Amino acid sequence: MIGVLDYGAGNLGSVMNALQRLNAAARFVRDPEDMRGFEKIVFPGDGHFATAMASLEKLGYVSAIREWIHADKPFLGICIGLQLLFDASEEAPRVDGKDVRGLSVIQGTVRRFPGRKVPQIGWNNTKARASSRLFKGLPENSFFYYIHSFYADPVDDTVTAAEAEYYCTYCSAVERGALCATQFHPEKSGAAGLTLLENWIAGT
C-alpha cells in the first residue's frame, strides 16, 4: 500500500489519480502515526518552502518523515517534496527573525534561479544518469513538466539522478538508497511520468 502524504499542500489529487491509473493501491496518510501502515510514501505538493515546513511541523510529520527516510524505506518526494529534503532555501532563509530549516535529510541548499524569467513553467529536457533506477527504460533525455522558481543544490553530487537546464544546469532528481525525489511533476508528465512512477512502485 502506498501512502500519499496529506499535509495541506496542493496537487495531491493529481498524484493520487496517476497512481490509480497505474492500478497502484494507494490512499492518503491521515497523520504521522498512520504512516506505519504503509510500504511506500509519496510526498507531493507545491507552494512556499517556509509555509510547507511549518505545516509539517504543526501536524507532527517532521520526525516521522526523518525516521522513515533514515530507515531507508521507499520514499518519493515531488516538487516541494524534493526541496524540503534539504537544509534550507533561499526562498525563505528567515521568518520572524528565525532561521527556516528543512528536513535536512540531504545536505545542501535550495537556490533561486539566477535569471529574471521565473518561475520556470512547462516541459524541460531532463538528462538522467545511466545508473538511475528511477529513469530505467526512459530515453536519456526525456521531457518532464516543471513549475518552480528554486532548485536544489546538493553538497554531495552523487545523490543527483538527473539534471535539467534553466539559466544553469541543476539537480532535477535525487536518488539515495530507497529515497527518491523529483523537482518536476511526474503525474503531469504524460507517458514518461507514468513510466517513472511505475519504476518507483516496482522498486527497480
Task: Cite the active site residues.
Answer: 79, 185, 187
> Which among 137, 135, 92 has a CA at the least distance from the CA of 111?
92
Query: In the numeric block, which cell numbers belong to residue 62?
Result: 517532521
Query: In the numeric block, which cell numbers belong to residue 136?
Result: 530505467
Query: In the numeric block, which cell numbers belong to residue 115?
Result: 535569471
- Extract the runs of DSSP E, i.e. beta strands, from 32-185: 40-43, 75-78, 88-89, 94-95, 98-99, 108-112, 120-128, 141-148, 150-154, 160-165, 169-176, 179-182
